[in-house]
Amino acid sequence: MPMPQPENAQTTLREFSDPSPRQTSQISHSAITPAIDYRLALAVRRELAGDDSLPRYLLAPEVTVLLGAVPDLHRRMLFEFIWNTGARINEALAVRPDDIVLDSVRPHVRLVTLKRQRNPKPGKPPASAQRRVPLLDAGFVARLRDHLVTFCPNRRRPVWEGRGGKPVTDDTARNWLSGAVAAIARKGISLSLPNPTPHTLRHSYAMHLLYCGIMPAVLQGWLGHADFRNTQIYIRVMHMEAAAAGSRHVSFGMDAAEAAALLGA
């Protein structure tokens, strides 16, 4: 039996008549997961946004519109990678093409949990610092494959480098994301969080997987949490939003027009 929506659910999600940028459609060709009540979830999300004890995250409609406002394909793929893997920004920036396995029964990426290495040594990181994260969205796998062919001729260099091989910093990535927030604001769309960061996408990944029915113990491994208590913060939110979840089908993308309509002013 469907849960009733709060009275303000419809008013917080007004129709947006202007479609999002055309390039947003490249983020996913997948349909929205029907079993997740995004209108209810977004209404609850906005009510909880001021609680600093909870993780700061966005819902799939918000992420879809946000990433679609990043015009540069190479930059956008960095954020889409974090959204699909839950990688910390430093882990994502360290990824090389050789760390990405797309031609297997289960496409995945090998991430090095840099947070556990207080004094990293040159060479191959220890097995305890590595984790394999499955890539669950087929549309993202296809786009990532194309991206590697187009932008990454050297498989041993990081996928995301600045000009002249200079590293991309956390601050640089934050500035890219801030530009996207400003772009969607000009279209009359506001997010439940005013200043999302790359780490916001990591939290969003964790919450999205819980919505889709992934077990918390599995999520712990994919996030690279040494202590399960770090994973439990997401479960606290799910206690409040359980009525909006209920599907084990995982898709990180959704229809761009539907995403814009859900978030529109």
Q: What pLDDT digit, counting tens, does each position of 131-179 carry?
A: 999 999 999 999 999 999 999 888 889 999 877 777 789 999 999 999 9
Note the pTM of the prediction, 2 decimals. 0.78
Q: Is 121 a catalytic residue?
A: yes
Q: Find the catalytic residue in 202, 205, 208, 211.
A: 202
pLDDT value of residue 40: 77
pLDDT band at 11 (very low <50, low <70, confident <90, very high): very low
CATH number at residue 252: 1.10.443.10
Q: What is the pLDDT of residues 14-69, one digit of tens each?
A: 322 233 333 444 554 333 344 677 777 777 777 777 788 888 899 899 999 999 99
Q: Which of 22, 106, 118, 121 is labelled catalytic?
A: 121
Instruction: Please report whether residue 234 resides in a domain.
Output: yes
Give residue 261's pLDDT band: very low, low, confident or very high (50, 70, 90): confident
**What is the token pair recorded at 91?**
């882990």
Active site residue 202: yes
The answer to whether position 4 is within a domain reads no
d(CA 206, CA 86): 7
Would 48 be classed as within a structural domain?
A: yes
Whether 1 is covered by a domain: the verdict is no
Please report whether residue 2 resides in a domain. no
pLDDT, position 78: 97
Burial class (CB in 10 A: 0-12, 13-18, 19+), 37: buried
Q: Verify whether residue 225 is a known catalytic residue.
A: yes
Alpha-carbon gap, residue 264 to 20, rounded angstroms: 9
> Phi-psi region for residue 223, left (φ > 0), alpha (ψ -120 to 50) or beta?
alpha
**Domain tally for the chain?**
1
**Coil, strand or helix: which one is 89?**
helix
**CB distance 113 to 224 below 8 Å:** yes
Residue 114 lies in a domain: yes
Long-range contacts, stretch 71-77, CB < 8 angstroms, 24+ apart: 71/21, 71/23, 72/176, 73/23, 73/26, 73/147, 74/147, 74/151, 74/160, 75/176, 76/27, 77/143, 77/144, 77/147, 77/151, 77/159
DSSP per-residue codes, 61-111: HHHHHHHHT---HHHHHHHHHHHHH---HHHHHT--GGGEE-SSSS-EEEE
Q: What pLDDT, on a 0 to 100 scale, did the predictor assign at position 246?
A: 52
| Domain region containing 43 | 9-263
Asked if residue 3 belongs to a domain, the reply is no
Closest CA to 206 of 195, 196, 217: 217
In a domain, 28, yes or no: yes
Residue 5 pLDDT greater than 50, yes or no: no
Tell me the average pLDDT of the chain: 80
120/104 Cα distance (integer angstroms): 30
| pLDDT higher than 50, residue 2 | no
Among the listed residues 75, 88, 143, 203, the single catalytic one is: 88
